[in-house]
Structure 1
């Protein structure tokens, strides 16, 4: 995930990259968009390379569902497909991957708007390029003062260290997750189609990519294994596994510890076997029992809700002075309001139906020697008093994300 910058700066009447992003976001091929607009596929190719005349805005809007004004905005954030390390399902199509990329570009624009209005926690993510994944996970726990205890809400923990966590829309959900550095800011884009425990592992996996693979140009099995090793140690540290699990634990004991660490039962069993707390025979026997009880495809009696953001409920809170509404964000950025809701995990819609801004809640409810950190924050993401005064003078309000 190479840190990227904005794309080319020329400003045609209808911007070529925005035409491409809108098409990708809706899962359309160039041929399909051409048929919807009433032009040839070659013309669409020209639109996406050189821009389009203003009179085509209405047709592009009707075909993609994006406001006509979206296409005349300036250059969009560049989220290059060849730099993405997708944590995708086997059946994921190119349409779904492209939709995820386009959603990421919109998410970065939403984040810029929120960051202009609010002072978000400083980025405090170490650079672990080339380091051992397990050692980096242990170092991160030490740097963030986490010890060996089970981790709290992982979305909020990432947010408190400057990592932006955004949702993926339904079309892109099979991607599961991906991450990217953009202009020195780390982003995780996360789907919610899995169980809460497995989504939590996805967040840890993407955090591993941000730390270990920032300058990587392509994916590989080795890279994915490294991110998995990082996530395993971060969520279930070896010392914590030995502390909480006896040798060859019973399934009942395994399930009890699973609740404490908020991981899937199969992941905990694998981890216990990996670190030598479970013999080969015990692991096979446990796996058979878990498979028979439905734990291979689900998580019976697991976490009731996906972990919630702490940023978005504060941004959308009706009682917060200077709050942003999903409609205002959509209008300012010329985005479909439904896309804003998807990117922010439907936080605004939950508040409208009175579910509050607490850390839990259904993801669809209401509608739906250490190396230095990249941004050098030693305060755990909390604003320094001097910077707080400066931000207030500039009209930005601090969000409490701890």
Structure 2
């Protein structure tokens, strides 16, 4: 088990055998033997291995293993197989902690994820996706107002949301199923920690679209375009678009799009696209505004304050819930949270975060 974990940690950190050996102070041959189980590292070497790979030593001894089934990446061509494999290991490591925690509860503390009942079985055009999205929102009792915390909403519906620390800009999103050794399965959605909040939210909604639209799109409909349409409609429903922008406009002000971006968590370009999709502006008006938007350099970085990033909170809350119910010990809680015991004790008592940071 330790041998496999060492190899996974090295790959996830993007290190070669030689590079890891150099940081640990052993030869690349020794690292290779560790990974094949032919040599067991000492406790000192395990500490050095953990530091070099950016993980805690408990990772090497974790017994809850998870397999990622049917991983589907949303990525650029620059995000190749090696990078994909490394990211899958990072995601698995985070999912394993969640699965271990969930296994401590006598019953699953949130509903198992399932698409709403009575959704249309077939989608024959992209325009039908707006009504499809409205049906999803209604079934989940989300209304048609902005979704303030999309991550919290999706986690409450039974999705495991992972915000992965992935530097490669070619990675956008990932959907998969996590299966445990005892046969439990959990749907997983992962996004990059490096993106601003509006891109994270659109990616999460896009990945949700893949889960909900699977098997419903008729031949000829591009799945990626369909999921983009779903993401926009899920974040900014047609009713809201028409109410806030008006049924028909000749042009839109940048300030309008900026305000709506921060109200609904959908980018300015996303709102421009929604205005076209809902018939508020014509194709020609959209093209003209998009060209001016691009000329200002806003396609890469939109103006003004960036939207706050999404932060999964359910996991931390469930750790303390399990602790309160005595399903796990203090030591296990600190281990799952990935913090030292002294810091855990202070955070548990809500002592000053500044004092905790200086421990």
**TM-score between the two structures when normalised by the length of structure 2:** 0.72
* Residues 99-150 of structure 1: per-residue CA shift (max 9 Å, x gap): 3211111111111233245553212430789743725423311211233333
- 2:86 aligns with 99
Matched-pair contact (CA < 8 Å) for 2:196–2:307: no
Q: Whole-Å Cα distance in 1 between the matches of residues 306 and 198 of structure 2? A: 7
Aligned partner of residue 85 in structure 1, secondary structure: strand
Q: Which of 168, 175, 197 matches 2:171?
A: 175
Q: Which of 286, 289, 311 matches 1:283?
A: 286
* Residues 149-175 of structure 1: per-residue CA shift (max 9 Å, x gap): 332311111122111212212446752
Q: Whole-Å Cα distance in 2 between the matches of residues 54 and 336 of structure 1? A: 27
Rate the CA distance shift 1:354–1:300 in 2: closer, same or farther, 3 A.
farther
Rate the CA distance shift 1:256–1:74 in 2: closer, same or farther, 3 A.
closer
Q: Whole-Å Cα distance in 2 between the matches of residues 69 and 309 of structure 1? A: 22
The count of residues paired between Structure 1 and Structure 2 equals: 320
Task: Report the CA distance between 1:238 and its aligned residue.
Answer: 2.7
Aligned partner of residue 87 in structure 1, secondary structure: strand
Aligned partner of residue 204 in structure 2, secondary structure: helix
* Residues 251-290 of structure 1: per-residue CA shift (max 9 Å, x gap): 2433333333221111110121133221122112222333
Q: Runs of 5+ in structure 2 lacking a partner?
A: 179-183, 216-220, 341-346
Aligned partner of residue 68 in structure 2, secondary structure: coil
Q: Whole-Å Cα distance in 1 between the matches of residues 338 and 185 of structure 2? A: 27
Matched-pair contact (CA < 8 Å) for 2:162–2:188: yes
Does 1:155 pair with 2:151?
Answer: yes
Task: Report the CA distance between 1:204 and its aligned residue.
Answer: 0.5
Structure 1 segment 304-319 matched on structure 2, within 5 A:
304-315=307-318
Task: Report the CA distance between 1:78 and its aligned residue.
Answer: 1.4
- 1:295 aligns with 298
- 2:218 aligns with none
Q: Which of 110, 123, 126 matches 1:121?
A: 110
Task: Report the CA distance between 1:292 and its aligned residue.
Answer: 4.4
Matched-pair contact (CA < 8 Å) for 2:133–2:230: yes
Task: Report the CA distance between 1:241 and its aligned residue.
Answer: 1.9
* Residues 218-267 of structure 1: per-residue CA shift (max 9 Å, x gap): xxx94322321221221122333223222234224333333332211111
Rate the CA distance shift 1:72–1:114 in 2: closer, same or farther, 3 A.
closer
CA RMSD of aligned residues (A): 4.1
**TM-score between the two structures when normalised by the length of structure 1:** 0.65
- 2:181 aligns with none
Matched-pair contact (CA < 8 Å) for 2:165–2:193: no
- 2:252 aligns with 250
Matched-pair contact (CA < 8 Å) for 1:176–1:192: no
Matched-pair contact (CA < 8 Å) for 2:206–2:230: yes
**Higher fraction of strand:** 2
Does 1:145 pair with 2:141?
Answer: yes
Matched-pair contact (CA < 8 Å) for 1:77–1:108: yes
Q: Whole-Å Cα distance in 1 between the matches of residues 196 and 339 of structure 2? A: 26
Rate the CA distance shift 1:316–1:75 in 2: closer, same or farther, 3 A.
closer
- 1:166 aligns with 162
- 2:269 aligns with 266
- 2:13 aligns with 26
Q: Which of 52, 61, 70 matches 2:37?
A: 52
Q: Whole-Å Cα distance in 2 between the matches of residues 265 and 56 of structure 1? A: 52
